[in-house]
Amino acid sequence: MDCAVKIDNLSKLYGKKEALSNIDLKVEKGEMFGIIGPDGAGKSTLYKIMATLLLPDSGKASIFGLDTVRDYRKLREKIGYMPERFSLYQDLTVAENLNFFASLFGVKIKDSYDLIAPVFSQLEKFPNRKAGALSGGMKQKLALSCALIHRPAILLLDEPTTGVDAISRNEFWEMLSKLRERDITILVSTSYMDEANRCERIAMINKGRILEVGTPQNLVSRIGENLFNAVGENMFRLLSELRVMPEIEDCYTFGSTLHIVAKKGFNPARAKLELEEKGLKGISIYPAKGDIEDLFIKLTRNEEM
Ligand code: ADP
Ligand code: MG
């Protein structure tokens, strides 16, 4: 399989703060790949390095075999980068922004029109509106159109849906699926767990480290292997009792139930008896289906320890 992105042992420090720590990552050509992690995880730092805008302290990153440091000029033609937060010129109109990006890359809008049409069509109704006056969802569509204007082979999208309403978020992901069908490799970061399921593979990142890589389904089924639901009359007491049981690794509130991450040898029937002996009532403990959220809780907790 062809590698689109290859990152080897990459680290980046800001002063003494290590924003990225020994990152290894491979993304295949044509993949829709998600970088999932909370605020401060290191997502934007990784994007800036891939977009050739920031130098790593050690290790290397290459895209389509081009090194982000050595070959940055050639590489910039191949990547469409959408930084986090709105990056366009707020005082320029929709049309002016698009023209600006086209001239920056020395291309004509009409030559890329087939590619941007599904994204741009909704903006065509108001070419003279200032970018700053657009809604959040429309701003993102304009930014994506601008990132596509030079027909990049890979899109680097850093939290494109943050602060965008739910309907526009959904539309945005549908547009990405269409672009994916046109063989564009897409690397998209998000801190919304539900969006992880939209990706073919994801990397979970926290505190500058990649914690897991795989399909969302694989990662979720792996966590589901030792996961249980627990309910009882007094949920708060139940939570505190479960947390101190030696066969339980972690326990946390999950919707209207508790989720137990069990160690080997955990016996739900025995745990129920123990809890009843302590006076807890209405206890029920049964296997739970894992969720991407469970994975995330596990990974972030492990890091704290
Ligand atoms: P994310 O995009 O996942 O929120 P960032 O890459 O922006 O993460 O940040 C990773 C870490 O590096 C955070 O702890 C952040 O505070 C720190 N950081 C980011 N940019 C700078 C900077 N320019 N100077 C110092 N620290 C920074
Ligand atoms: Mg960021």
CA distances from 170 to 102, 161, 194 (A): 27, 9, 11
The answer to whether residues 161 and 68 belong to one domain is yes
Helices (H), ranges, 39-165: 43-50, 72-78, 94-105, 109-120, 136-148
The answer to whether residues 172 and 53 belong to one domain is yes
The answer to whether residues 157 and 245 belong to one domain is no
| Alpha carbon 182 to chain centroid, angstroms | 21
The answer to whether residues 70 and 179 belong to one domain is yes
The answer to whether residues 142 and 228 belong to one domain is no
The answer to whether residues 243 and 125 belong to one domain is no
H/E element, 252: strand 248-254
Residue nearest to atom 14 of ligand 1 (CA): 40
**DSSP-assigned states of every residue in 137-196:** HHHHHHHHHHHHTT--SEEEESSTTTT--HHHHHHHHHHHHHHHHTT-EEEEEES-GGGG
The SS3 call for residue 221 is: helix
Adjacent-strand bridge partners of 227? 261
The answer to whether residues 102 and 201 belong to one domain is yes
The pLDDT value given to residue 163: 85
The pLDDT value given to residue 222: 87
Six-digit token string for 32: 């829709």
Nearest atom (ligand 1) to Cα of 208: 10
Six-digit token string for 72: 């940055």
H/E element, 14: strand 3-14
The answer to whether residues 7 and 153 belong to one domain is yes
How many structural domains is the chain composed of?
2
How far apart CA 158 and CA 188 sit, in angstroms, is 6
The answer to whether residues 142 and 199 belong to one domain is yes
Domain final position from 214, 238, 265: 214
The pLDDT value given to residue 299: 73
Residue nearest to atom 13 of ligand 1 (CA): 40
The pLDDT value given to residue 61: 97
State the distance from the centre of ligand 1 to the C-alpha of 140, rounded, in angstroms: 22
Domain with residue 243: its CATH number is 3.30.70.2070
The answer to whether residues 171 and 263 belong to one domain is no
- Packing angle between helix 292-304 and helix 216-224, nearest 10 degrees? 70
Six-digit token string for 252: 């946390």
State the distance from the centre of ligand 2 to the C-alpha of 190, rounded, in angstroms: 9
Domain final position from 190, 214, 238: 214
Domain with residue 191: its CATH number is 3.40.50.300
**Ligand 2 ion: nearby residues, β-carbon < 5 Å:** 43-44, 84
The pLDDT value given to residue 297: 86
State the distance from the centre of ligand 2 to the C-alpha of 61, rounded, in angstroms: 18
Six-digit token string for 59: 């290790």
The pLDDT value given to residue 304: 56
Rounded to 5 degrees, φ, ψ at 298 are: -60, -50
The pLDDT value given to residue 194: 86
H/E element, 218: helix 216-224
Range of the domain at 234: 221-304
How far apart CA 287 and CA 212 sit, in angstroms, is 23
Residue 68 exposure: Cα atoms within 13 Å on the Cβ side: 25
Domain final position from 184, 214, 244: 214
The answer to whether residues 244 and 110 belong to one domain is no
Read off the pTM: 0.90
The answer to whether residues 255 and 127 belong to one domain is no
Give, for all 305 residues of the chain, the pLDDT tens digit: 579 999 999 999 999 999 999 999 999 999 999 999 988 999 999 999 999 999 999 999 999 999 999 999 999 999 999 999 877 889 999 999 999 999 999 999 999 999 999 899 989 899 999 999 998 889 999 999 999 999 999 999 999 999 889 999 999 999 999 999 999 999 999 988 889 999 999 999 999 999 999 999 999 988 888 999 999 999 999 999 999 999 999 999 999 999 999 999 999 999 999 999 999 999 999 999 998 889 888 877 765 54
Task: Give the pocket of ligand 1 (CB within 6 Å).
Answer: 14, 17, 19, 37, 39-45
